[in-house]
Amino acid sequence: MDDERAGPVDAEGSAAPATGFAVGVGAVSALVTLLALNPLLVNLEGPFGEHALLGMLTSLAVALAVGAGLALVTRRVAMRSTAGLVVLVGGLAALAVVAFPTRVDRHESFVERPNERSTCVGVAFRHYPPGTSDASTEVYCVGLERPAPAG
């Protein structure tokens, strides 16, 4: 009889360790996705403009979908191969480091004086919080940042 589970299972034959690990990876992925999408979607200069609630609900829905999808993928990979699980988690960690938005510039409220800290090798976008009248515009980078020269 062929058993589809070729990977690690505990003594009773259940997949509890793989499921627990998958739930952890899914939860962390959902949180990282929510935090990464928030500056882009809850943004006066973003796709939803003044509609901050719609941007927050969209980022929450996408984060939950990403978390659930990665939990399922992680469980399947964990059931089949420990080496594959290590590669998957390492790849997800590298993706989170590179794709997480990082603030590289800040423009003080009404006076245009950039306070650039880094240059962006990737995609940059501007963020201004909706519902405010006097806030700093920030520039975020999705990609790799290089420190700007002093001065």
CA 115 to chain centre: 25
Of the given ranges (34-38, 98-102, 118-122), which has the lowest mean pLDDT?
Answer: 118-122
Mean pLDDT of 139-144: 88
Contact indicator for 69, 20 with CB cutoff of 8 Å: no
Whole-number average pLDDT of the chain = 83
Looking at the chain, the whole-number percentage of residues with pLDDT higher than 90 is 42
Task: With a cut of 70, say whether residue 41 has pLDDT above it.
Answer: yes
Q: If pLDDT is split at 50, 70 and 90, which confidence band does 33 have?
A: very high
Walk across the sheet containing 102-107 and list its strands.
Answer: 102-107, 137-147, 118-127
Q: pTM (2 decimals)?
A: 0.77
3-state secondary structure the chain: CCCCCCCCCCCCCCCHHHHHHHHHHHHHHHHHHHHHHHHHHCCCCCCCCCCHHHHHHHHHHHHHHHHHHHHHHHHHHHHHCHHHHHHHHHHHHHHHHHHCCEEEEEECCCCCCECCCEEEEEEEEEECCCCCCCCCEEEEEEEEEEECCCC
Round to whole Å and give the CA distance between 77 and 18.
9
Task: With a cut of 60, say whether residue 151 has pLDDT above it.
Answer: no
Q: If pLDDT is split at 50, 70 and 90, which confidence band does 18 have?
A: confident
The whole-number pLDDT of residue 14 equals 53
Task: With a cut of 50, say whether residue 12 has pLDDT above it.
Answer: no
Strands 102-107 and 118-127: unpaired
Q: If pLDDT is split at 50, 70 and 90, which confidence band does 11 have?
A: very low
Going by C-beta distance under 8 Å and a sequence separation of 6 or more, which residues neighbour residue 87? Answer: none
Mean pLDDT of 128-134: 80
